[in-house]
Structure 1
Amino acid sequence: MRHRPAARDAKLVEQFSHVDALVAGLFDGVFSVEEVGRRGHLGLGCGDHMDGELVVLDGVFHLCHGDGTVSVLAADDTLAFAEVVDFGPVAAELVEAVDSIDALTAAVAERVVSPNLFHAVRFDAHFATLSLREAKRQTKPYLPLAEAVHDQRENTVTDVTGTLLGFVAPSVFQGISVAGPHFHFLDTTGTVGGHVLGIGGATGELAVETYPGVTVRLPTTPEFLGADLELGDVDGAIRHAESDHQR
C-alpha cells in the first residue's frame, strides 16, 4: 500500500508576491535571493524583469534565461515572484513510464490525502522528451503577462536526466498561485532547464510533501501599491501564459 502523507502542520508554502501581480505586468524584482532562500530550499519563480524561469534546487537558485543559458543567482539578485518550501518528504517512490503532466499529476494525487491542500513535488528522473519554455527579459513599460509570453523561448529536449520540481495547488488559489500543477526543470549538468510544458517517457523517483497552507509576502513598491489587480479573466490569462505558444 502506498504511503499517503498527511500535511505537516508546522510547515507552509512560502510565497513572494502572487500570480495576479504577474498577470498585471508587475515584473520588477523586489525580493532578494537571500530573503527567499531563508524560507525554503526547493521551489520556483521568475527573475527581475520576468527574466527566465527560476529553479530552486537544494538551496541553489538557478535562473533559466530566455536565450537558453542558465545562471546561478547571487544572494543580492532579485526576484519578481517565488514559491519555496523547506522540503522534507518521508519517502520517494519509483514511478515509471510517465507520458504527460496529467499522468504525473495523477501519480501525485495517488500519494496525497486530498486535492484541497498544497503539495510540493520533486521528480528525479530520466525523460525521453521534455518540452520547456523560458520567458525572455521584459523592458518597461511592461506588457501584461498574457502578451509578454508571446516572445518566450520554447524548446523540446530528448534523452535528458534531471529534476522536475514544483507544486500542485488547490483550484481555489488560482491567481494567488497557479492552480493545479506548476513544474520547472533543471538537468543534471545545470545547463538545461525551464518551465515544463510537456513530458514523455519519464521514469524516476517521485517525492511529495503536503502542506496545509501558504504564506504570501506582498511587494510594497509604489508600482504594486498603485496597481489595478481587478483584472477580469485571471484564470484565462494564467492558462494562456502557462500554455505552449508555438503550437
Structure 2
Amino acid sequence: MQRRSRILGELERDGTVRVSDLVTLLGVSDMTIRRDLQVMHREGLLEKVHGGATVRAEPSSLEPGFEAKSARRLAEKEAIAARAASLVRPGSAIAISAGTTTHALARHLVDVPGLTVVTNSIWVSDVLHRTAQEPVSVLLTGGLRTPSDALVGPVAIAALESLHVDTVFLGVHGMDSRAGLSTPNMLEAETNRAMIRCGRRLVVLADSTKWGVVGLSSMAELSQASVIISDTGMPAQVSAQLAEQCEELVLVSPGEPVPDDAEEA
C-alpha cells in the first residue's frame, strides 16, 4: 500500500515517526494511522511506541519474508534496478540472486534479447517467464526454500558450481565495512558464495538502509564487488568508505534517468 510505503520512508529518514505528524502529512485520520502502524508492527516493519513508531532493530539471524521486504524503499529499489539493467548486454549470461531489488531488476530485463539467466529466485524466474518480450533462457537452480523465497542448499549449490556467467547480480541483507555482504540465513550465504564464484563480475544491488546491517553469515567482502549500486540516501562518509573498498560505486536517485553512456556488462 502506497500510504504504508510512505510511512516507512519517513521512518527510515528520521528513525521515528509521530501519529500526529503522519495525520497531517498523509491527510488521513488518527485511527487510520494507528491501524497502519499496528499492522506494520505485526509484520515486523517497525516498532510501535506510544504516540508513534520507531525503527525496529533486527537481530542478525532474523530473516524477513519477501512480502515484508517488498514494502520497503520502493522508489530507491526501482532506481537501483534500472541502473543495474543498463549494465546488461543482449546475448549475455547472467546470474541473479533472490531478493526484492533483484526482483525489480528482472522486471527491467524483459525486453533485453538473447539473455540466459541463472537464478535461485522463484520470483525472478516467474517474472521472466511471464512477461519477457524477448526470448530468454531461465535456469532455476532448485533447492530448499527460505522465508525470503530464495532456493538454497546442496541442490542449488551443485547447479551453480557447474556454470559460468558473465555477471552476477547480488541482492544483500546487510553491508558493512568489516562483515562485508551478509545475510541472516547460513544456507543462503553458502549458496550465494557459489553464485559469486560462477561469475566473472559481481554487481551488488543494495539500497542505503543496508549499510551497517550485519546478518549472521557473510557472503563476500566489499572488495570483491566490481560495482555496488546504491542510492543517494547514503551518508557522504559512508559512500567515501565504500568507494575505497569496491572497484566502482554508483549512487542513484529515484526518478532520475539512466545515463545513455552507462557501461554494459
Question: Is this a same-fold pair by TM over 0.5?
Answer: no
Scaled by the length of structure 2, the TM-score of the pair is 0.27
**Greater relative contact order (CA < 8 Å, ≥ 6 in sequence):** 1
Decide which structure has greater strand share: 1
Name the larger-Rg structure. Answer: 2
Scaled by the length of structure 1, the TM-score of the pair is 0.28
Decide which structure has greater helix share: 2
